Amino acid sequence: MMLRLAIPFSLVFLMIPAAQAKVAVGEPAPEFSVVDSQGKTRSLREFKGKMVVLEWNNPECPFVKKHYGSGNIPGQQQAATKDGVIWLTLNSGAVGKQGNVDGKAADAYVAANKGSPTHYLIDKEGTVGHLYGARTTPHMFVIDGAGVIRYMGAIDSVPSADKADLKDATQYVPQALKELAAGKTVSVPSSEPYGCSVKYGS
């Protein structure tokens, strides 16, 4: 599939087959603990029994800017959390790398973009990112109430940084959440994530 918008090579566009990730659809989501933007430690186990969305974020990535600037991700966050879903936005960018933020900057970013994640998690050591095999921003995971991964991959079906392409894209996370809430099998359980590479320290 061809990109609709030329992106400088330095931004490192990636499309990674989901099979290369370190976790798998249908398997338990790995447990983790990480500090949020308020300085409080959050763990996956505290949300046991609830559906959880993991969203890898880099405020400076053009693909992320597309989905935030258009209101796509903030809208998904609002709809999901209204329905009781826990939405965890993670930043695994290392200190000094593109997109790395501290708690204050993270909160300012969320507010400026009218975002509404349940928590913004600061994973500056990249521990959670490596645990889940997160490779791009955005990179999405949906975990059901039993703690099992039911979706992993791209935010949508059109790998582009152009906002105009949103009208033609299937939004995989809302689709998966709706199907799970209805007791159905997720029709698209995995896809190839696209975006900027996660800026790990190592």
CATH code at position 134: 3.40.30.10
Residue 97, in any domain of the structure: yes
Q: Is residue 17 part of a domain?
A: no
What percent of the chain is modeled with pLDDT above 90? 89
Which whole number is the average pLDDT over 70-76? 98
**Contact yes or no for 182/51 (Cβ under 8 A):** no
How many structural domains comprise the chain? 1
The pLDDT confidence band at residue 5, using thresholds 50, 70 and 90, is very low
In a domain, 56, yes or no: yes
In a domain, 130, yes or no: yes
In a domain, residue 45? The reply is yes
Query: Considering the entire predicted model, what is its pTM?
Result: 0.89
Tell me the average pLDDT across 81-85. 98
Return the beta strands (E) in the chain as ranges.
13-15, 33-35, 41-43, 52-56, 86-91, 119-122, 136-137, 140-143, 149-153, 194-197
* In-domain check, residue 88: yes
Whether residue 139 lies inside any domain: the answer is yes
- Assess if residue 3 is contained within a domain: no
